[in-house]
Structure 1
Amino acid sequence: MTPDDLVLTPMGVRFRGRLFPCSVGKGGVSRNKREGDGATPVGRHRIVGMLYRPDRMDAPAPWAVPIGPGDLWSDDMGDAGYNQLVRAPYKHSHERLRRADPLYDLVLITDWNWPDAVPGRGSAIFVHQWRRPGFPTEGCVAFRRDHLRWIAGRILPGARLIILAA
């Protein structure tokens, strides 16, 4: 582990010498992540992308990519685009990245089950904004908005989100 890694601890996520409160999946932390279980998967997940809403904030880092109105994330296990960024119109099951709420205003994408997705293993483990303190996610790791912006301004592509078994 390096200071540039995001490391989940019982007290929150450690990054660059600071500790940030966070939320994890409603299914807890799991060694056997499955699509729809709400669990945050154990592992060392590389940060492979950063997306942001250009209509709501400035780019937090030079490598951040704007989220467009038609940007979606496929969660359809039967589709070739499973666990990939796809564009509307898209007939398969998906999650809209440009949401009405602020949860995905800023997203760090991990390499969980990506780029060669195994159907059923779970899609889209993101780092994003939380709904409120302690409110669980569907498997992602979530932070307070200002903390997420601070992290995003300092994290580099290839850094890891490290989730250890409890």
Structure 2
Amino acid sequence: MKTPNDMVLSPRGLRFRGRDFPCTIGRGGVSANKTEGDGATPVGVHGIVGLLYRPDRMARPADWAVPIRPGDLWCDDPRHEDYNLMVRAPFPASHERLFRADPLYDLVIITDWNWPRARYRAGSAIFLHRWRRAQAPTEGCVAMRADHLLWIAQRIRFGARLIVPPQP
């Protein structure tokens, strides 16, 4: 059953609180069988478990938002015990930088995809973040315009979910 806090992916974009926001998804489309590196956005109901922001680039968007600091990373190595968790540099295993030179991760909404106890090679880090440009696919995340992402981040509450239905 959908709630007012749910964000629902549809062919028209991401629907939230009666509005449709243009967005992009993974280069691998939508998949019910997500694996690490496939570029797919996973089908399912994904809880929202975190909100990160760059305090050097924007004001805190919500009282529960956590600042991204230099050295913050996300482990994407399925062989490592910290797979699909936020970690700190220096970090020996494969990872993605959260404190980036570009603005893609200035604001990040974190889903509970394959978290907190990650399954081996089931995929890491399904985020909602800023897009590189309209219609440019992601590695599996959902991406959108910065102002739309901020509007959503300022309004989501405890219990919010990202719903990704199977595509026909």
So what's the TM-score if we normalise by structure 2?
0.98
Aligned mates of 1:145, 1:76 — CA distance in 2: 28
Spell out the pairing of 1:66-81 with structure 2 (5 A cutoff).
Answer: 66-81=67-82
Output the amino acid matched with 1:61. Answer: A
Aligned mates of 1:119, 1:106 — CA distance in 2: 27
Q: Which moved more, 1:63-72 or 1:156-165?
A: 156-165
Correspondence for 1:105: 106
Output the amino acid matched with 2:145. Answer: R
Correspondence for 1:24: 25
- Number of aligned pairs? 166
Aligned mates of 1:102, 1:33 — CA distance in 2: 26
Residues 49, 157 of structure 1: 8 Å contact kept: no
Output the amino acid matched with 1:94. Answer: H
Aligned mates of 1:95, 1:156 — CA distance in 2: 27
So what's the TM-score if we normalise by structure 1?
0.99
Correspondence for 1:57: 58
Aligned CA RMSD, in angstroms, stands at 0.5
String of CA shifts for 1:39-62, please: whole Å, max 9, x gaps.
000000000000000000001000
- Stretches of structure 2 that go unaligned for 5 or more consecutive residues are none
- Stretches of structure 1 that go unaligned for 5 or more consecutive residues are none
Tell me how far 1:156 sits from its aligned partner: 1.3
Aligned mates of 1:101, 1:113 — CA distance in 2: 26
Residues 5, 159 of structure 2: 8 Å contact kept: no
Output the amino acid matched with 1:145. Answer: A
Percent of aligned pairs with the same residue? 69
Correspondence for 2:36: 35
Correspondence for 1:9: 10
